[in-house]
Amino acid sequence: MKKNWVIAIHGGAENQSREDIGEAKEAAYRQGLDNALMAGWHVLEAGGSAVDAVEAAVRSMENNQLFNAGRGGSLAKDESIEFDASIMDGKNMQAGAVSGVKHVKHPITLAKTIMERSKHVLLTSVGAEEFAREQELEMKGDDYFKTEEKIKSLKKAKKKEKDELLKDTVGAVALDMDGNLAAATSTGGLENQYPGRVGDSPIIGSGTYANNEVVAVSCTGDGEGIMRANVAHEVYALMKYKNLSLKEAAKEAMEVYKDRIEGDRNFIAMDPEGNVEFSFETSLMFRACKRNNDPTYLAIWRDEDGNWEKE
Ligand code: ASP
């Protein structure tokens, strides 16, 4: 049987128009997505693991100021920046997660290090930073994360001068040549959020889930709603217990308890055959995918040509 290797990524989902974003910024987003996709794809192409591939893709977006994760993370009410991230290895169902760290350059690598080198799944704030230092992960001062632009944007958000709060998340799912699935998610949370607020991104089963037999999922959107709907695990459960296909499960997971749970839920998901779903209810999702040596699929807008319909 031919070995497949596939990676899909997202850089968040929003309700913005082409005019809001502008041509130059749109082009920069496309470049950023391509860089991240290829960072993960090269890991897979060289025979690397799905876990290493999703980490590489997310690290690339954490380096890019355009995305709300790592360097680009948005400011909380008190101008602090707190990061949440998680990763799950579908091979052994090991997981690592981190929340409320302020000085770790790559929260996703901290999540992976927690998974691989500690007996815990989730570490938060001071303890998580202590562990990061012990493990000699790269730390950064406030000046690396806090920019004039972000401070201005926070001020506007406080005065309610803008319709859309800066939010978003980045994530990746991958299938490696050995048939292993993995998922990773990283975020700066919501702009103007209460310090200490934690969303779905570091919660295994809500923002991230992976199991080789069934699916890998990474979410973005309203963390409070995604947590209550347990979206990533819901996709898994619909496939596992209802025997739905990836496409059917993704569709249903978007709707489950929508009458009682508000907020936009968006996610990317991949099954063990390397089929991919980009599910979103916003006007855009920054997204990309590459299977084996096939051409890259990269899109932002809902109405963009070339939907990912290869399966
Ligand atoms: N889900 C993220 C959070 O609630 C934000 C986002 O994806 O837009 O922290």
Q: Using one digit for the tens of pLDDT, what is the confidence trace for 206-230?
A: 999 999 999 999 999 999 999 999 9
Q: Is the dihedral of CA 103, 109, 113, 119 positive or negative?
A: positive
Q: Which residue numbers are catalytic?
A: 169
What are the angstrom distances between the C-alpha of 7 and each of 53, 224, 237, 266, 286? 8, 27, 22, 17, 14
Cα–Cα distance for residue pair 62/59, rounded to 1 Å: 5
Q: Using one digit for the tens of pLDDT, what is the confidence trace for 87-135?
A: 999 999 999 999 999 999 999 999 999 999 999 999 999 999 999 999 9
Predicted pLDDT at 310:
45
Ligand 1 atom 6 nearest Cα:
168
Phi, psi of 290 (to 5 degrees): -145, 130
CA angle in degrees (0–180, nearest 5) for 175-245-216:
30
Alpha carbon of 174 to ligand 1 centroid (Å): 21
Give me the domains of the chain, ranges plus CATH numbers: 6-301 (3.60.20.30)
Predicted pLDDT at 311:
38
162 burial (CB, 10 Å; 0-12 / 13-18 / 19+) is exposed
Alpha carbon of 190 to ligand 1 centroid (Å): 6
Alpha carbon of 1 to ligand 1 centroid (Å): 39
Question: Does the Cβ of 212 fall within 6 Å of ligand 1?
Answer: no
Q: Does 160 have pLDDT greater than 90?
A: no
Question: Does the Cβ of 169 fall within 6 Å of ligand 1?
Answer: yes
pTM greater than the 0.85 cutoff: yes
% of the chain at pLDDT higher than 90: 90
Q: Mean pLDDT score of the chain, rounded to an integer? A: 94
